[in-house]
Amino acid sequence: MQYVIGIDLGGTKTAAGVVAADGTVLYSGQTPTLNRAGGEAILDATAALATSLRAQAAADGIEVSAIGMGSAGVIDAEAGTVISATDAILGWTGTDIFTGLTQRTGLDVSVVNDVHAHALGEAWLGAAAGTSSSLLVAFGTGVGGSFVLNGHPVLGHRFVGGHVGHFASPYAYHDGVALDCSCGHAGHVEAIASGPAIHASFLRFGGSAAVPDTRAVFDLARGGDATARKAIGVGAGAAGQAVGGMVNILDPAVVVVSGGLADAGELWWGAMERALRQELLAPLADVPVLRATLGNTAAIVGAASLVFN
């Protein structure tokens, strides 16, 4: 059986595991992403994590053959380079992941954006297993997505495919002014439907500045606070409308919703799914809308599948 290392590199932590060809994760570990130290330091830490896991496997007679990686940022999957990245990881833009990790580990490397890796994991072993196409959308600190077709993510001509948080939403306005988005534009889905956006909506609607974050907004909403419920309802409605529109365009076999908001309970999920289904064309009315099932291992096994496929 073939064994590879799957890596999920995010803005705060890098997780990895030794993955068998059947998707079993045999060994796992993680390390902080050195997001203020620059690309070379991040590659050093990532290679050290991979080398440690490889040594654990070797001690049990298991030979690792390659690395599959999902990384934050816009990733050129052919050249193995970071086309662009936000300030969440300083100095990551322009990093040559292929060359850097290969030189440090001696292993061949395959790499895509981390949300594509997440979607590949769910398509292989998770909520979308057994389907020919799936649309995954993740709602958390940001909004991202991936359309997987016959086991391969649709990356786009310039590898920007999947940035589903960055198209216009009629919800993303306040007093007639478009809300600023993290990408530098305004009026986008992410500006109203992400976790931080729900907290920002709560404050705009008159909520107390003493409420520190989105988790606290949800706590208030569960206790019946009307302002918190309004902020969550607006964010969930924007999320559902956006996903419904994408379903109309892509016609996936199944929709998978992931991220911190998808796990926040029925208060968000119910409003999101109602808004989603209100958008659907008649032939799509029964499309399954499912929660992601693999949790933190999704991107690790999805990254590994880059090698297996």
Task: Average the pLDDT over 145-160 and give the result.
Answer: 97
Contact 128, 71 (CB under 8 A): no
* Alpha carbons within 13 A on the beta-carbon side of 140: 12
State pLDDT tens for residues 201-238: 999 999 999 999 999 999 999 999 999 999 999 999 99
Per-residue model confidence (pLDDT) at position 62: 97
**pLDDT above 90 for 309:** no
pLDDT, residue 180, reads 97
Percent of the chain predicted with pLDDT > 70: 100
Looking at residue 283, what is its pLDDT? 98
pLDDT given at position 164? 95
Q: How confident is the model at residue 86 (pLDDT cuts 50, 70, 90)?
A: confident
Q: Whose structure tokens read 């990254």?
A: 303
Predicted pLDDT at 68: 98
Q: Are 89 and 74 in contact (CB under 8 A)?
A: no
Q: 197 pLDDT exceeds 90?
A: yes
CA dist., res. 75 & res. 32, Å (int):
20
Closest alpha carbon to 289 in 250, 243, 249: 243
Nearest to 301 by CA among 120, 147, 56, 63: 120
* Distance set, CA 262 to CA 127, 212, 267, 295, 305 (Å): 13, 20, 10, 11, 24
Residue 28: what pLDDT?
97
Multiple choice CATH, 131-292, 3.30.360.10, 3.30.420.40, 3.50.50.60, 3.10.270.10? 3.30.420.40
Query: Looking at beta carbons, which pairs linking 217-225 to residues 24 or more positions away fall under 8 Å?
Result: 218/264, 218/265, 218/267, 218/268, 221/267, 222/265, 222/267
Tell me the C-alpha distance between 149 and 111, whole Å: 18
For the chain, what is the mean pLDDT? 97
Query: What single DSSP character describes residue 179?
Result: P
CB 123 within 8 Å of CB 131: yes
Residues 292-305 pLDDT 10s? 999 999 999 999 99
Which tokens belong to 102? 């290969």
| Residue found by looking up tokens 């499309």 in the block | 287
As a whole number, mean pLDDT of residues 148-156 equals: 97
Q: Which of these CATH numbers, 3.40.50.12780, 3.90.470.20, 3.30.420.40, 3.90.78.10, describes 3-121+296-308?
A: 3.30.420.40
Q: The pTM is what? A: 0.95
- Tally of CB atoms within 10 A around 51: 16
Residues 119-135, mean pLDDT to the nearest whole number: 98
Using CA atoms in the order 207, 212, 215, 219, what is the torsion angle rounded to 10 degrees? -50
pLDDT tens by residue, 93-116: 999 999 999 999 999 999 999 999
- Which of 171, 134, 139, 76 minimizes the C-alpha distance to 253? 134
Tokens 């030794």 correspond to what residue?
18
How far apart, in whole angstroms, are the C-alpha atoms of residue 112 and residue 156?
A: 12
Q: Over range 167-178, report the average pLDDT.
A: 97
* Four-point Cα dihedral 174, 177, 179, 181, nearest 10: 170
Extents of the domains making up the chain: 3-121+296-308, 131-292
264-283 pLDDT, tens digit each: 999 999 999 999 999 999 99
| Identical fold, 3-121+296-308 and 131-292 | yes
Nearest CA-CA partner of 31 in 47, 13, 19: 13
| Secondary element (H or E) of residue 271 | helix 266-279
| pLDDT-based confidence at residue 87 (cuts at 50, 70, 90) | confident
